[in-house]
Amino acid sequence: MVPIMGLRRGLLSTFAAGLVVALSFGAGYFVGSQEAAQAQVGPSSTVTPTPDPRDALTQPPDGITEQFGVFWQVWNLIQREYVAGPMDQTQLLYGAIRGMLESLDDPYSVFFDPATHKLQQASLEGTYGGIGTAIDLKDGRITIITVFDGSPAAGAGLQTGDVLLSVDGREVTGLSMAEVATLVRGPADTSVRLTISRPNDLLEAETLEFTIIRRRLTVESVTTRYADDDLAIIKIRTFAATTPRQFVAALRRVQEEGVKGIVLDLRDNPGGYLGSSVAVASQFLPADTVVLIEQLGDGERELHKTRRDGRLLDMPLVVLVNNGSASGAEIVAGALADHDRAILIGETTFGKGTVQVEHDLTDGSAVRITMARWLTPGGHVIQGVGLTPDEVVTQTADDRTERLDPPMVRAQQLLRSSAATPTPTTTSSTPSVTVPIPVNR
């Protein structure tokens, strides 16, 4: 059910997993292999899908002309009578497609014209021109959910939680995330002006303006550092195509170093390819273990499971999350939490729990359709709810300014106290998945 090359391409969209402003998407869903903004399903996770006759449908069915009679009446009236006409036919066509998708009232079902689609593909490969942020729709507002370390956005002072009001003077209210992402991106060494709303210490919103110089960015998906030589801290910024391979290489180095525990840092990770998320979680779980449950509109469910035993089944593990952890990041954290494989530390996650499938169209454009919801292995709903950590530990703006990281400190304390040692597992378990309940673990 995971098409990778061809008409059907699945994305979990973070973006969680939403769209990425200067980056990538929140999550991908190459069914079974998910593409994330920078992590995607590796070659071993790709699956050639059974041909779907809907994907080959390039000609309208018999009788459709009558059903679309009103549409063609309006089309012809615009071409004949509109004061600024005749209009470009491609522009009218794309507008009609966008209108259909907007009628779904789903911010993750979107259309990309050929130019925007090309930008999205570049960002999914991990290299793009922009400022280094990821955006998603939160409470009806386009919100920055990730600011990447070392990016122009980070240098300018943008923060997770900033609400985007305008780009170069153009208000973004009413625009799709794809349209906003296109406005923010641009050639390296050019500038973009962002107006944002940010709550202050009095919980009052203040309006700020930033002029940021775009840069050619390549985001490394996985990085590793060590704390006093006995703990490894592995940071995953996005779940891109290259993430599984990079993550396995990081785990090899960790094993060679003989560390006593791992902090898996998924904070401000907007998601990415589904397959990449499953591949990362699989490294800590036994074979045939449920990683997530995909629930289609008709109620049918598909269990996504690990294929083999992971490399580190017994290594003590703490996972860090925050409100910028979305989509693919929530898949990993939810799976490890439900299987009692890791302790979650930090803040409640973003709450992106839907799956998108992307279809490449014949003219180079693409359409992304929400086709399923996903649940944690224990059947917990994520969409709009998120994951609540085992221990809520926040990192305030002042902490960041002073380079303090209370969640990281607490994670290392737990690992050194052996509190994060997992219960030994023999064979993998498939949790009960009867009726999902809209609560967190």
Residue 84 lies inside a defined structural domain of this protein: no
The Cα 368–Cα 222 span in angstroms is 27
Is the domain of 204 the same as that of 310? no
Is the domain of 190 the same as that of 263? no
**pLDDT for position 217:** 79
Residue 403's domain spans which residues? Answer: 222-354+375-416
Q: What are phi and psi of 356, to 5 degrees?
A: -115, 145
CATH code, domain with 140: 2.30.42.10
Alpha helices in 205-301 (DSSP H): 243-257, 274-282
Is the domain of 253 the same as that of 307? yes
Cβ count within 10 A of residue 253: 13
Is the domain of 262 the same as that of 411? yes
- Residue of 279, 434, 333, 408 lying closest to 17 (CA atoms): 333
The Cα 397–Cα 376 span in angstroms is 31
Residue 415: CA count within 13 A, CB half-sphere: 28
**pLDDT for position 23:** 30
**pLDDT for position 122:** 63
Q: For 314-332, give one letter per residue: b (16+ CB within 10 A) or e.
A: ebbbbbbbbbbbbbbbbbb
Burial (CB count within 10 angstroms: exposed 0-12, middle 13-18, buried 19+), residue 305: middle
CATH code, domain with 350: 3.90.226.10
The Cα 27–Cα 29 span in angstroms is 7
Is the domain of 240 the same as that of 213? no
The Cα 156–Cα 92 span in angstroms is 38
Is the domain of 198 the same as that of 303? no
Residue 309 lies inside a defined structural domain of this protein: yes
Omega prior to 436 cis, within 30 of 0: no
Is the domain of 209 the same as that of 240? no
Is the domain of 408 the same as that of 331? yes
Residue 250 lies inside a defined structural domain of this protein: yes
Whether residue 107 contacts residue 137, with contact meaning beta carbons closer than 8 Å, is answered with yes
Alpha-carbon dihedral 362, 363, 366, 367, rounded to 10 degrees: -70
Is the domain of 309 the same as that of 226? yes
213 beta partners: 191
Look up residue 326 and give its two tokens: 């979305």
| Stretches in the chain below the pLDDT threshold 70 | 1-63, 65, 121-128, 201-203, 219, 418-441
- Number of domains forming the structure of the chain: 2
Residue 424 lies inside a defined structural domain of this protein: no
Residues annotated as part of the active site: 327, 338, 352
Secondary structure (DSSP) of 370-416: EEEEEE-TT-BB-TTT----SEE----HHHHHTT--HHHHHHHHHHH
The Cα 420–Cα 55 span in angstroms is 47
- Residue of 311, 393, 301, 303 lying closest to 345 (CA atoms): 393
- Residue of 216, 191, 325, 195 lying closest to 266 (CA atoms): 325
Residue 318 lies inside a defined structural domain of this protein: yes
Residue 249 lies inside a defined structural domain of this protein: yes
The Cα 64–Cα 67 span in angstroms is 5
Q: For 53-62, give one letter per residue: b (16+ CB within 10 A) or e.
A: eeeeeeeeee
The amino acid present at 293, given as its one-letter code, is I
Is the domain of 231 the same as that of 308? yes
Beta strands in 15-120 (DSSP E): 110-112
Structural domain ending residue among the three candidates 218, 243, 268: 218
Is the domain of 246 the same as that of 394? yes
